[in-house]
Amino acid sequence: MNSDISAEIKDKGIEKYLSDQQHKSLLRLLTCGSVDDGKSTLIGRLLHDSHQIYEDQLATLRNDSQKSGTNGNEIDLALLVDGLAAEREQGITIDVAYRYFSTKKRKFIIADTPGHEQYTRNMATGASTCDLAVILIDARYGVLTQTKRHSFIASLLGIKHFVVAVNKMDLVDFSEDKFEEIKASYLEFAQELENGSDSRIIEFIPLSALNGDNVVNDSEFTPWYTGGSLLTLLENAPIKSTNRDAPFRLPVQCVNRPNLDFRGFSGTIAAGTVKVGDSVTSLPSGKSSTVKAIVTFDGELQTAFSDQAITLTLNDEIDVSRGNVLVATDKPAFVGNAFKADIVWMTEDALQLNKQYDIKIATKKTTGAITAIDFKVDVNTLAKTEADTLELNEIACCEVQLTEQVVFDLYQNVTSTGAFIIIDRLTNVTVGAGMIKEVLNTVTTTHEFSEFELEFNQLVIKHFPHWQALDLTKLSK
């Protein structure tokens, strides 16, 4: 066991220690940047110097360093997160590796993402749940294409806080001029990034991950830098507000029917807060009721928040099934079958316009097609260019048409119901991921459709999938 943790448990007692851990704030972050910028080494150094590596892990790391390390007789800290055989053979990161650690001030979940362009899709996966991005830059080479690509994707996924870590400063004699040159270059590029530039925070830090300069402890070689170590920045970084204040959204995972006397709707709250007695509406049907009880594994609650797994029971027997979304009646989501979205393409088979793909939004799985590409983003220059297809790792603003009405939000408002994945119907491989940015059509969410209207619409979808789903608001008139 880690000696610092052992001492803290001995001093406080196990119950007090666990209670303190539970109430600490949690920061989710990732490291990204170009290949060989030192992302894995930085995480290893951060864990090592903050005494977060257990003794048996350290012993294993010493043995592994003799076999696969690149630092001679020294410990190769990158091996702490680069665990795949292919990663150790090539000295690169391929898959996303997650590490948890905790200091006296805060808990952290850190994702080590790959730098190679070939694995940009893995980087996007790691960034999708993070609050902060540590962008590594090799001091010898400055801002590279992959640095821009990862910064753009992080911004696209809603990350507003960037820590630009200029690594390997020991190889440029800790030159302040070189650091300022890279800082100016990145700031010039960052002005072109979209999605909340006014609220974006960008901090810069010179460091050497290999030697530990400015990682956990301040470096004597950078007297000109007074911003504190990387760990200090992470401990004091603001955490984006939780989506408890967002409109209530519960994508229904399953209908819980253990006996004749109980019928509940289970799922994880995607956003917002729900209380017993609140009015909720099931979309897309538009049927409303009030919350009778909030049931969890540990018993019933009066209030539940985002990210909690719950089962809701209602006071009225309305039709709710998997794929439906229970929403706050006074703040409904969109219901429609067409929208614009930023799409990251994740497979070597290029996107085909108007080809039918499976689309999964929250718990709803349907079919649809990308009907048009408004523009493709050149990550080298952030210029918008015309395109009629997407290749691996390319990013574009596209128009999506679904075969039936679905419930969704804009990604900037609610990420869980504003994001979707694209699945190849033949291979069942996830080929793309999208973030909804604009609604192209919707149906009203206040009209309660009759059983006949709903049944007729579903029959049309089932037997004529090439038709667009009917606008039930016109049918009801």
pLDDT of residue 86: 44
Residue tagged 């851990």 (tokens) = 21
CB atoms within 10 A of CB 144: 17
What's the CA gap between 134 and 119, in Å, rounded?
18
DSSP structural state of residue 198 = G
Ranked by mean pLDDT, the top range of 96-105, 202-211, 231-240 is: 202-211
pLDDT of residue 381: 75
14-22 and 3-12 helices, crossing angle to 10°? 110
pLDDT band at 142 (very low <50, low <70, confident <90, very high): very high
pLDDT of residue 191: 85
Decide: 140 and 168 in contact? Cβ < 8 Å: yes
Q: Is 122 helix (H, G, I), strand (E, B) or coil?
A: helix
Domains and CATH numbers, the chain: 3-236 (3.40.50.300), 243-328 (2.40.30.10), 334-444 (2.40.30.10)
pLDDT in tens, 19-54: 666 667 888 888 887 777 777 788 888 887 887 766
pLDDT in tens, 51-88: 776 666 666 666 665 565 555 556 656 666 655 444 44
What's the CA gap between 161 and 147, in Å, rounded?
15
pLDDT in tens, 217-227: 999 999 999 99
User: Is residue 371 over pLDDT 50?
Assistant: yes
* Torsion over CA: 305, 309, 314, 317 (sign): positive
User: Is residue 314 over pLDDT 90?
Assistant: yes
What letters, b where the CB count within 10 A reaches 16 and e where it falls short, cover 331-370? ebbbbbbbbbbbbbbbbeeebeeeeebbbbbbbbebebbb
- Calculate the average pLDDT of the chain: 81
User: Is residue 352 over pLDDT 80?
Assistant: yes
What's the CA gap between 376 and 397, in Å, rounded?
6
Which range among 79-83, 400-404, 424-428 shows the weakest confidence by mean pLDDT? 79-83
According to DSSP, the residues that pair with 325 across neighbouring strands are 251, 283
H or E stretch including 127?
helix 120-127
pLDDT band at 147 (very low <50, low <70, confident <90, very high): confident
pTM, 2 dp: 0.77
pLDDT in tens, 157-189: 888 899 999 999 999 999 999 999 999 999 998
What's the CA gap between 123 and 154, in Å, rounded?
9
